[in-house]
Structure 1
Amino acid sequence: MGAARRFTTDLLRSWKVADEDRESAVLIVDELTVNAVQHGHADTTLVMALEDGVLLIAVSDTGACVPHRPPEGFDPDEHGRGTGIVRFLAQGMDVSLGEHSCRVDVALKVTAGEPDSRR
């Protein structure tokens, strides 16, 4: 997940996204990629686009969707708040479950300057 955080940080810096918005986006990407890795069972893909001040984030995995139960000794104060954090930060979130995939799409309003032409 460190690679996803670094990728997101570097990309959003090149797009000149404001620091506070960049931090929110990195937190969202981190939560979604951790969920995909923990609950998916195959490849994970991260896609981002910036359109008219809205950062679109999509995280998907190609694993079969299987219901999961909290493990024995699960402490809700320690785990299970990731999607709540994402929903709080984002302006929109959609979860699409397929027979062999799961995809989460998030929209986050951001303040951005002109993209860095060096990238």
Structure 2
Amino acid sequence: MPAAREFARRALADWGVGEARTQDALLCVSELVTNAVRHGVPPGRGFRLRLLRAGEALVRIEVHDSGPGHPRVADPAEDGDERGRGLLLVEAVADKWGVGERDPGKIVWCEVGLSRWLS
């Protein structure tokens, strides 16, 4: 996961993204990559991290994996386990997030708006 964060940090710096939104995007990268490694990558497979810049408006973060299932936001009332809260964090700091189809697997993505956060 450190390599994924460093890749994202460099891309965001190259794009001139301000520090506040860089931190939000890096948190999203960490959580989505962690979820992919823990739940979406079958043995012998990897994942793909993609960052896309959409003009001055936003950065889209995508994590592609080949595992089954559909991630969901954990309900804090369900149990006292401190794990499984990654998508809650993504939901809190990203402007949008969702899951797309991939064969095999899925793409978990989020978008972080930039317009007021550019350096």
TM-score range, shorter chain: 0.7 to 0.9
Closer, same or farther in 2 for the Cα pair 1:39/1:9, shift >3 Å? same
Which runs of structure 2 are paired with 1:49-88 in the superposition (5 Å)? Answer: 49-51=52-54, 52-63=56-67, 65-66=68-69, 76-88=80-92
Closer, same or farther in 2 for the Cα pair 1:100/1:12, shift >3 Å? same
Higher deviation after alignment, 24-33 or 93-102: 93-102
Instruction: Give the aligned CA root-mean-square deviation in angstroms.
Output: 2.0
Partner of 1:6: 6
Structure 1's unaligned 5+ residue stretches are 69-74, 114-119
Tell me, yes or no, if the aligned pair for 1:9 and 1:22 is still in contact at 8 Å: yes
Q: Distance in 2 between matches of 1:99 and 1:29?
A: 22
Structure 2's unaligned 5+ residue stretches are 72-78
Identity percentage of aligned residues: 31
Structure index of larger Rg: 1
Scaled by the length of structure 2, the TM-score of the pair is: 0.79
Higher deviation after alignment, 91-100 or 37-46: 91-100
Partner of 2:47: 44
Tell me, yes or no, if the aligned pair for 1:53 and 1:112 is still in contact at 8 Å: no
Higher deviation after alignment, 87-96 or 15-24: 87-96
Q: Distance in 2 between matches of 1:15 and 1:66?
A: 33
Higher deviation after alignment, 96-105 or 84-93: 96-105
Counterpart of 2:111, as a letter, is A
Q: Distance in 1 between matches of 2:84 and 2:69?
A: 17
Q: Does 1:34 align with 2:34?
A: yes
Question: Number of residue pairs matched?
Answer: 106
* Residue 93 of structure 1, CA deviation: 0.7
